[in-house]
Amino acid sequence: MAILFGGVPAVAKQWRKLLAEMLPTMEFRVWPEVGDPNDIEFVLWRHPKQGVLATLPNVKALFTMAAGVDHLDYDDIPAGFPIVRVVDPGMQENISTYAITWTLYFHRHFHAYEEQKARREWKVLPTAIPEKTPVGILGLGTLGTITARCLTTMGFPVAGWSRTAKSLDGIECFHGPDGVLPLMGRSKIVIVLLPMTAETKGVINAASLAAMPEGGFLINVARGAMVVDDDLLAALDNGHLAGAALDVFNEEPLTSDHPFWTHSKIRMTPHNASGPNVPARARQLADDILRIQRGEAPSQPVNRHARY
Ligand SMILES: NC(=O)c1ccc[n+]([C@@H]2O[C@H](COP(=O)([O-])OP(=O)(O)OC[C@H]3O[C@@H](n4cnc5c(N)ncnc54)[C@H](OP(=O)(O)O)[C@@H]3O)[C@@H](O)[C@H]2O)c1
């Protein structure tokens, strides 16, 4: 019984130590030292090397070490075992506080006060009232739901959009392709917390941004490809949108000549809304392995058909 680890050797050391404590009877092997391929029951690999999984006949699960699974080559992953995402409590806290921080930043006019400071302008802006600032969250999964609940507690009227119909206490729920424009239309601040799939690519475009109320804000914490960059720039430049905060980009790292760098209405972070927390991830992995060994489903299985 062994785990095959496909990450970098420096990180392997930390995983080996943690898993030796949590799963003492499980051997830990680091690619390319596979040993007997029949021994490998669990694979821990963000980008499995092409063709390798097909050479391991007894795999019971592939753990991706990430919450987003848009990077996987699904045709290269044999059917018959679950693909498991990582979403630990630390990630939920990091992503929700990231989205909430920018929501409060825009809601409390801090972007405008920053600009006023540069002009040495002393001017008090209208009091910000959460009840009058509807927030819309695209994606009501593990990260969108916790963010929605926190913002609801703060008094914001929150709505969310999902693929399948949902009913969540205190949160207005929209779903399906027809739900996105109504959601954007009622939301002064829109937070993107969707997985990147063929259906969600480019969902933030000229039409959906135009549906937002004048002076709205966009926060993208999910994947850059959900946003059509030129459409976002046009909406900011023509004044329809008042600001955007972005953690993720169509191309990463962002090229040095990209217009986002110098745009006065864009705030940016380098895809670090949530950094890796190896002990928390190892805990989830160990718990999931024990579940699978008991014949139960893992905590975060990927839907191979929907690809998230
Ligand atoms: N910036 C970072 O550092 C960072 C860190 C972690 C994660 N992320 C990103 O955040 C994403 C979301 O994570 P999560 O754990 O919340 O994912 P999740 O639990 O899989 O939830 C995804 C949500 O999006 C909805 N959705 C999927 N396809 C849709 C569609 N076509 N139309 C409408 N709604 C759709 C799902 O609807 P249903 O509920 O109906 O299935 C679900 O509510 C990840 O995929 C990853 O890319 C970014």
Vertex 117 angle, CA 112 and 118, to 5°: 100
Listed as ranges, residues in the chain with pLDDT below 70 are none
Half-sphere exposure of 257 (CA within 13 A, CB side): 0
144 Cα–ligand 1 center, Å: 7
Cβ neighbours for 84, distance < 8 A, ≥ 6 positions apart: 61, 62, 63, 64, 288, 298, 299, 300, 301, 302
Of ligand 1's listed atoms, the one at least distance from the Cα of 175 is 33
Of ligand 1's listed atoms, the one at least distance from the Cα of 272 is 3
- Find out whether 273 and 98 touch, Cβ atoms under 8 Å: yes
Distances (CA, A) of 187 to 23, 24, 107, 127, 292: 47, 50, 12, 19, 41
- Find out whether 7 and 65 touch, Cβ atoms under 8 Å: yes
Half-sphere exposure of 149 (CA within 13 A, CB side): 11
271 part of the active site: yes
223 part of the active site: yes
Residue from 97, 181, 193 whose mutation best tests the ligand 1 pocket (most atoms within 8 A of CB):
193
Pocket of ligand 1 (CB under 6 A): 67-68, 87, 91, 95, 139-144, 161-164, 193-197, 199-200, 221-223, 247-248, 271, 273-274, 308
Tell me, what's the pLDDT at 276? 83
Tens of pLDDT, residues 3-24? 999 999 889 999 999 999 999 9
Of ligand 1's listed atoms, the one at least distance from the Cα of 145 is 16
Strand 83-84's sheet: what is its strand order? Answer: 27-30, 2-5, 40-44, 61-63, 83-84
**Conformation bin of residue 295: beta by default, left when phi > 0, alpha when psi is -120 to 50:** left
Tell me, what's the pLDDT at 88? 87
192 Cα–ligand 1 center, Å: 9
Nearest CA, atom 6, ligand 1: 67
Cβ neighbours for 80, distance < 8 A, ≥ 6 positions apart: none
| pTM exceeds 0.95 | yes
The residue from 111, 223, 267, 281 that is catalytic is 223
- Residues 254-272 as b/e (b if ≥16 CB within 10 A, e otherwise) read beeeeebeebebbbbeebe
Tell me, what's the pLDDT at 10? 87
199 Cα–ligand 1 center, Å: 12
Establish whether the linkage from the previous residue to 32 is cis, with ω within 30° of 0: yes
Three-state secondary-structure class, residue 42: strand
Nearest CA, atom 36, ligand 1: 162
Three-state secondary-structure class, residue 288: helix
Closest CA to 82 of 63, 68, 55: 63
